[in-house]
Amino acid sequence: MKLYHSIGPNPRFVRMFAAEKGLTPELVEVDIVAGDNRRAPFLQINPTGTTPVLVLDDGTTIAETTAICEYLEELVPQPALIGASARERAIARMWWRRGDLMVVQPMTAGFRAAEGLSMFQDRVRCLPQAAEDLKRTAQEGLAWFDAQLGERPYVAGDALSVADLLLYCFVEFGELVGQGLDPSQRRLAAWRDRVGSRPSASVR
């Protein structure tokens, strides 16, 4: 397998997921700063121009983080990151979706609308007039996760799941772009340290 990747939280999320599975796909760097993802030959691999993209040995291309992670989970079921039973899968996917809706989407849109505007304004639709509201929405999502985490070691329960990997990569991204954790979010900070101590967190 080849994994076309780049800087950014979504490619890191997939790299961490693969590392937790013990997988080491061949990495192919895509320079998204230079815009290589928005022109040929990359658009022949993924017409949406986004990274990451997994290319299988038979040439099949799988884009979108959800699809890639679901494929890798079926390919290597253990350790189960999306759940080993119907109940566990439902819970992991519930928290995965919550992270995507409440943190990932507003944080990403807020960054593109403000600090990343010069890079993204000619590539995707950006909403500079909504930048602060989007960032505030992401912060509200992080505060909600901090309250929900309670004394659980991981987002979906006692074991690491895909929901942790996604949220961790975006919490780390938020720190880099001025959308870091609030000092009051101590549970989430401890959780971040817990996930960050795993070998997969050092995969770049």
Cα gap 189→204, rounded to integer Å? 21
The pLDDT tens digits of the residues spanning 69-119 come to 999 999 999 999 999 999 999 999 999 999 999 999 999 999 999 999 999
Cα gap 154→96, rounded to integer Å? 12
- CB neighbour burial string for 156-166, b if at least 16 within 10 angstroms, e if fewer: beeebbbbbbb
Q: Are strands 53-55 and 26-29 parallel, antiparallel or unpaired?
A: unpaired
Cα gap 116→108, rounded to integer Å? 9
Q: Report whether 71 contacts 54 (CB < 8 A).
A: yes
pLDDT band at 193 (very low <50, low <70, confident <90, very high): very high
At residue 192, does pLDDT exceed 90? yes
Cα gap 41→19, rounded to integer Å? 27
At residue 32, does pLDDT exceed 90? yes
pLDDT at 52: 98
- Tokens describing residue 89: 């899968």
pLDDT at 167: 98
Q: Report whether 154 contacts 192 (CB < 8 A).
A: no
Q: What percent of the chain has pLDDT over 70?
A: 100
The pLDDT tens digits of the residues spanning 153-188 come to 999 999 999 999 999 999 999 999 999 999 999 999
Q: What percent of the chain has pLDDT over 90?
A: 98
Q: Mean pLDDT, to the nearest integer, of 116-140? A: 95
DSSP-based three-state secondary structure for 168: helix
Domains and CATH numbers, the chain: 2-75 (3.40.30.10), 86-202 (1.20.1050.10)
Q: Prior bond to 11 cis, omega within 30?
A: no
Q: Which of 82, 25, 12 is nearest to 56 (CA)?
A: 25
pLDDT at 203: 87
Instruction: Name the H helices within the chain.
Output: 9-20, 42-45, 65-75, 86-99, 105-113, 117-120, 131-149, 162-176, 186-196
